[in-house]
Amino acid sequence: TALEETLVLVKPDGVARGLTGEILGRIEAKGYALVDIRLVQADRDLLASHYEEHVGKPFYEPLVEFMQSGPTVAIRVAGNSVIAGFRSLAGTTDPTTAAPGTIRGDLGRDWGLKVQQNLVHGSDSPESAARELALWF
Ligand code: DAT
Ligand code: MG
């Protein structure tokens, strides 16, 4: 294992539903360290950079619109293998089928929601983490 930092976002659906504390609690309970935290109203430029790998995909525009619908909580999280570890805590992308015990599996709702309303983001590699942390902090 290696000490890493990752970017976690509580997306606008998580903030609006009052789940920030629950999600922070799961990160803390795992033993990860909260290094920095801020509430951000993301704009299109920030989101275009953050989601650059997804530009042109069918879900890109709805995703960027949704991410501007309210504030996001950005968290710099440190821990051993925290990049893969947080994605394991988060669960798979679609909350409908995410495993119980995960943030998306336990807290995601499967009625009338879009896949992008999946509560959290976590960086997927050391390169992504460094790039994304520089954008949000
Ligand atoms: P993840 O957030 O699990 O890393 P991703 O990076 O592939 O997933 O996609 C970024 C976000 O885009 C994801 O959290 C939700 C949305 N998304 C991904 N695939 C989608 C799809 N097939 N339909 C709608 N939204 C999608
Ligand atoms: Mg991703």
The fold of the 3-136 domain, in CATH, is Alpha-Beta Plaits (3.30.70)
Residue 83 in contact with residue 122, Cβ under 8 Å? yes
Catalytic residues: 121
User: Exposed, middle or buried, 43 (CB in 10 Å: 0-12/13-18/19+)?
Assistant: exposed
Residues 48-95: tens digit of each pLDDT: 999 999 999 999 999 999 999 999 999 999 999 999 999 999 999 999
What ipTM was reported for this prediction? Answer: 0.97
- How many other CB atoms sit within 10 Å of the CB of residue 132? 23
Structure tokens at 134: 């520089």
Ligand 1 contact via 103 beta carbon (within 6 Å): no
User: pTM for this structure?
Assistant: 0.97
Q: Annotation-wise, does 17 bind a ligand? A: no
Å from CA of 38 to ligand 2 middle: 20
Q: Does the beta carbon of 81 lie inside 6 Å of ligand 1?
A: no
pLDDT at 111: 66
Phi-psi map region of 11: left, alpha, beta (phi>0 left; psi -120 to 50 alpha): beta
Using one digit for the tens of pLDDT, what is the confidence trace for 20-41? 999 999 999 999 999 999 999 9
- 54: CA distance to ligand 2 center in Å? 9
Provide the 10 A C-beta neighbour count for residue 9: 23
Q: Residue 36: CB within 6 Å of ligand 1?
A: no
Residue of 47, 55, 59 with the most ligand 1 atoms within 8 Å of its CB, for mutation: 59
Instruction: Report the distance separating Cα 92 and Cα 71, nearest Å.
Output: 23
| Domains of the chain by residue range | 3-136
Helices 82-90 and 20-30: crossing angle in degrees, nearest 10, is: 130
